[in-house]
Amino acid sequence: MLIRAGHTEAGCDLAHMAGLMPAAVICEIIKEDGEMARLPDLVEFAKLHGLKIGAIADLIEYRSHNEKLVERVAQRKVQTSYGEFDLFTYTDKILLQTHLALVKGDIQQQEETLVRVHEPLSVMDFLEQVSYPNSTSVHDALQKISQSPAGVLVLMHHPETSANLLARAATKMEGHHALWDSRSYGTGAQILRDLNVGKMRLMATPRKIPSMAGFGLEVVGYTQAHS
């Protein structure tokens, strides 16, 4: 649930928290007209049948307050071409992967923070300095953050195979080289919360993402690094 926020994961988590086998059956509730029931319909359905309603955001909030899937293992300052940043290193306790976060400024929950979550990380992200029309490169993100009062660049690491590197090195990319993996958004969210991020303006193309309210994060807007 803290890695990927979905109804399937929520069902298994609830069963596990109740001391039962972490398995569940989920289904859609259909109204008499054949349409899928929405929250107002479900509230009435629950009253009629004496059922309780729980929100995924509430479950995430409860678990994020009582469990941590990432651990901060190191912190130091690094000098980049875009100035000095604080480098935070995290270990993913589930997949045992290492993720990095480059931070500038004093991060305050109630103040807007410029944020870029970049994945998967490749050595080519640092070799090739290029601006993409519909995405944000590592260099673009660092430059934009360096010009802002406060910002965070999270570098999500996933193993890069020889085949991945060959494909990336041999082909000129016109945009971001891989699709965002929604299963890892919870890991990135926990890193951002550990860094005291609250309100954030994402350097990304606007898209539908799972609610981050359970992590105490609020997306206040989007921006492109080269805008």
Tens digits of per-residue pLDDT, 4-59?
557 777 788 788 788 888 888 888 899 889 899 998 999 999 999 999 888 877 77
Higher-scoring residue by pLDDT: 208, 104: 104
pLDDT band at 225 (very low <50, low <70, confident <90, very high): low
pLDDT band at 64 (very low <50, low <70, confident <90, very high): low
Q: What is the pTM of this model?
A: 0.69
Please compute the mean of the pLDDT values over residues 152-158 and round it to a whole number.
Answer: 92
Tokens of 63: 């678990």
Return the pLDDT at 183: 56
Q: Are strands 98-104 and 113-118 parallel, antiparallel or unpaired?
A: unpaired
pLDDT band at 226 (very low <50, low <70, confident <90, very high): low
Instruction: Please give the Cα distance from 3 to 69 (Å, whole number).
Output: 8
Q: Angle formed by the axes of helices 7-17 and 56-66, to 10°? A: 50
Instruction: Please give the Cα distance from 195 to 86 (Å, whole number).
Output: 11
Return the pLDDT at 77: 97
Return the pLDDT at 173: 64
Mean pLDDT of the chain, nearest integer: 83
**C-beta separation of 60 from 5 below 8 A:** yes
